Chain A
Amino acid sequence: MKSAVLVFPGSNCDRDMAVALERVSGRKPKMVWHKEAELPLGVDLAVVPGGFSFGDYLRSGAIAARSPAMRAVADFAARGGMVLGVCNGFQVLTEAGLLPGALMRNAGLDFLCKPVELIVEETQSPFGRGYEAGARIRLPIAHHDGRYVAEAETLDRLEGESRVAFRYAEEVNGSERRIAGILSENRRVLGMMPHPERAIEAILGGVDGLPMFETLTQEAA
């Protein structure tokens, strides 16, 4: 699989994501600086990593969402390319309008870093195909603005089209309907708050992120 990882000033999970992608796909991803207006040729997957792009200073992800590289990602997504946004990446994808809704300050107001239990809600996308429907998996979260918010009809639509990818098994941050990750209409764009790239080795506390990277690699093959 050929993949690209976007890098904004203030990204800080870009390396972690690159390590995970290389480990599973056997291929080093291309790192794409935010000022680049095009993705490398032949890329199968574009990843918007976690961190605090541009300090998250106006709103989390807001400034990064308007960068040249994100415009390239939007074009790529429109052509059916696979896009994964994790944590700050999810925030960027919603700010860029590639996914509906918004991510707001956690209900408890504090930053939260801990492993959480997730329910796998869909297995029809290249991201979820490696899991069993309804499976409970454990991934770490690390965010301050992770409360997923959208209008009721949007939420109903997401549910109706089975586009809720992951749901927190228990209440974590006040997200509507405990939504932890959602898919685009064509199921090729996934945004999620938990970090699959931090769960690919037992020594780091778990391997529940592996199936996602494995099926993405297969999809691209």
Chain B
Amino acid sequence: MEDQFLHDLRRAPSPEFASRLRAGLRAQGTPSRARGRSPAVPWLAAAAAIAMVSFAFLFPEVRVGAAAFLDMFRVVNFAGLRFDPQRIAGLKASGVDFPSLLGQVEPLTEPTAPVSYADASEAGQAAGIQVRLPAWVPPGYTLAETLVTAEHSARVTANTAKLQTVLDALALDDVRLPDGLDGQVATVHLPAIVGMTYRDGDRALHLIEARSAEVSFPAGFDVPALAQAGLRILGLDRDEAYRMANSIDWRNTLVVPVPVDAASFRQVNVAGADGLLIERARGGGMLLWSTGGQMYALSAPLGAEALLEMAQSLQ
């Protein structure tokens, strides 16, 4: 064969090298059979992360007490926020721990394993919501699994030292944190979540339904000022951060970070409700919307039209 000489130059890696590399990977936590993430996971993670991002902007200025919680954050709207994932990765690599950036997070309930239900209405009863099912799903997909994740609460005690350190490190000297924040406490309540997975062979789509997450915080707190700091850290320039921080209603808008190089987003109408459609550059996407006091997230390897059709068929 003409090309046999090219094949003949192959050589097996040395056993020492193969063993050394394998050991190194295992040292990083490589399991013998690890679960990969589904196409939906980055978006589901984003949906979960929106709580952290938005909640991070909502800290109280008074101490926790019976009369301290004078206002409440609930999700009514969604807003997309472009961010550079490499910037975030760089910050994480330099030691920035985002969940604790604004203070100490203390779980008030222990996380429990999700519970599987054979019937969506039973799952809804367990979660305390009325589950709506799609009248239309893409051909080939069938409901394969319904899980309920229990509600969860956490208390966040503000400490701006870390945040100020990050601002200083990034030379964001135009940002001024609100006074009187340290030591103040907010309570975050994440509701029970019903997650339904539809499968067509290896392909899966995920529909999530839950009551709105809530954060208790005091009225009168200068949320835009803190939001502006967060937006600057995420990479927005000074003017853009100021404009966005002061144009969003932070009491009812959940901010969804969208990687600038991987996806685009736009506002859409979902059966009369405002929704946020995130479309991945490599296909598939996620649709977020809220109606009747419940949040919905639909993540699937589908185009925008099919996502919307399925979402609008919920009943």
B is bound to A: no
Residues of B within 8 A of A (CB): none
